[in-house]
Amino acid sequence: MASNILSVLSTLTYMFVFAIGLALIAIVVMFIIDITQNQDAVRRNYPVIGRFRKIFSELGEFFRQYFFAMDREEMPFNRAERDWVARAAKGESNTVAFGSTKNLDPIGTPIFVNCPFPTLEQDAAKTSKMTIGPYCAKPYEAPSLFNISGMSFGALSVPAVQALAHGAKMAGCWMNTGEGALSPYHLEGGCDIVFQIGTAKYGVRNDDGSLNDDKLRKVADHKQVRMFEIKLSQGAKPGKGGILPGAKVTKIIAEVRGITEGESSISPNRHPEIDSIDDLLDFIAHVRKITGKPTGVKAVLGAYGWIEDLCEAIHKRGIESAPDFFTLDSGDGGTGAAPMPLMDNVGLQIDESLPMLSDIFHRYGLRDRIKIIASGKRITPADVAWTLCTGADFVVSARGFMFSLGCIQALKCNKNTCPTGITTHDPRLQRGLDPQDKKVKVANYCKNLVHEVETIAHSCGVDEPRKLRRKHVRIVQTNGRSVPMDELYPRPEPLPEYVNQAAE
């Protein structure tokens, strides 16, 4: 017995010494590599030890998320917001105890104005359908005020698209394809679909990147495809086209988009055939004529004089020439991959651009004609309610629905290594995302968000969310006091020549 124990101890000793030897050899090799290389000054001056700086830097974002950041501190979405979405997606109670952890003092904070006699449950009305594209052959009766924003197949994985498509059908909302074209996975859910025509025109393009009318007509033949959105710009990267790394261009994605498998795909920074307001209206008219369905545009505002030029051109041509909707993206919008200078510094945030856009349309008598769809970090009921108060008809969200799928904000969307399987095409990682489970969470999130927006509306004394107005919300100012939004952004008087067409 004793000899056996000694034998085991001897073996363990040899293994330990061997491991120490390997470790020393590895350290010596790293030391030699570090002290002789000239690309990294820290590693050259502090061989081996300097390597820990990069390791700690990469791990820092995860430690901050789980151990150090407070519930309301993280960016782009804090823990409180993500937890709300997670509970809503699971259908769990979203009540909280003791008191709010939200700081209501920062400048710009919206505070909804409750009335002394809120709407009773029996007097509450379900959000009504809204018609988009009254001059089209096939107008769209949109049932939901909250919908899924554009996320491309390619940026998203197959199971993510499947879960969103089925969940959208269950919730009764639409799903925007993003610029990555229409895949079989979008259609299998049976939901309403908005087909986005990006600058590369994936799915409806000729080999030279121009629009192919036959392919466009074929897409429009799908009954589920309800509208077409011409993307002019995106909040996360104004002036830059879509970026899909080659690692994500699989065979099926290449077939759907009409591009080469394994090669990075970078869209033009604008539609080559749209170089003026007249070009834009011509393109809208062409798409609407081919498809017979509502056609609008998506843009983030920076310069805004062109919106007034657009309104004047519409009146010269006739009100039916207007885009059927305008999807307004925020300068702090998200994407799978974008240059940091554009993501951080270009484009107006929706807090400023939405009242501006709505007021311009109102002044030109086009507010009822052109429906406004607002996008950009609208993931909670308060975000959505503020947007409706300010002037939007619909709200769309991408990252909110990603959180409902299980996104943990790992910030790996552009690297094909998403740990939740949402933005990766690695089969091993995709395996963790079960569309049958996630579709229910997608639907729950949409339904519960709308329900709680209705709760805010009833507290403010109106029977449904679209009756919320700027007077129903106050905005905190520099002195710590709040003022009504309708004083900050008073509705302008309609121009005399368009007064009969102005929105009520």
What percent of the chain is predicted at pLDDT more than 90?
47
Q: What is the pLDDT, as a whole number, of residue 502?
A: 42
Taking each helix axis as running N to C, give the angle between helix 79-90 and helix 435-459, from 0 to 180 degrees, rounded to the nearest 10: 110
d(CA 260, CA 252): 10
Q: Which CATH architecture has domain 145-501?
A: Alpha-Beta Barrel (3.20)
Burial 81-90 (b: 16+ CB within 10 A, else e): bbebbbbbbe
* pLDDT tens digits for range 262-301: 887 778 888 999 999 999 999 999 999 999 999 999 999 9
Give yes or no for a contact between 203 and 181, defined as CB atoms under 8 angstroms apart. Answer: yes
Of the candidates 223, 226, 193, 217, which has an alpha carbon nearest to the alpha carbon of residue 286? 217
d(CA 210, CA 197): 11
* Domain spans, the chain: 2-68, 145-501
Q: Is the pLDDT of residue 215 over 60?
A: yes
Phi, psi for 210 (deg, rounded to 5)? -80, 165
Give yes or no for a contact between 145 and 394, defined as CB atoms under 8 angstroms apart. Answer: yes
Q: Which residue has the tokens 């809120």?
A: 118
Burial 434-452 (b: 16+ CB within 10 A, else e): ebeebbbbbbbbbbbbbeb
For the four alpha carbons of 90, 93, 95 and 96, in that order, the dihedral sign comes to negative
What percent of the chain is predicted at pLDDT more than 70?
86
Q: Is 92 exposed, middle or buried (0-12, 13-18, 19+ CB in 10 A)?
A: exposed
Whole-angstrom CA distances from 82 to 73, 85, 109, 403, 501 are: 12, 5, 19, 7, 42
Per-residue tokens: 420: 């939740």
Q: What is the DSSP letter of 310?
A: H
* pLDDT tens digits for range 408-435: 787 777 777 788 888 888 888 888 888 9
∠ CA 499-500-504 to the nearest 5 degrees?
85
Q: Is the pLDDT of residue 504 over 50?
A: no
> pLDDT band for position 24 (50/70/90)?
confident
Which residue type does 347 have? G
Average pLDDT over residues 468-472: 95
Please state the pTM of the whole predicted model: 0.85
d(CA 478, CA 252): 53
Q: What is the pLDDT, as a whole number, of residue 47?
A: 87
Q: What is the pLDDT, as a whole number, of residue 127?
A: 81
Average pLDDT over residues 46-61: 70
* pLDDT tens digits for range 69-79: 555 556 666 66
d(CA 210, CA 51): 49
Q: What is the pLDDT, as a whole number, of residue 503?
A: 39
Average of per-residue pLDDT values in the chain:
85
d(CA 268, CA 198): 9
* pLDDT tens digits for range 102-138: 777 888 889 999 988 788 787 777 788 999 999 999 9
∠ CA 384-389-394 to the nearest 5 degrees?
50
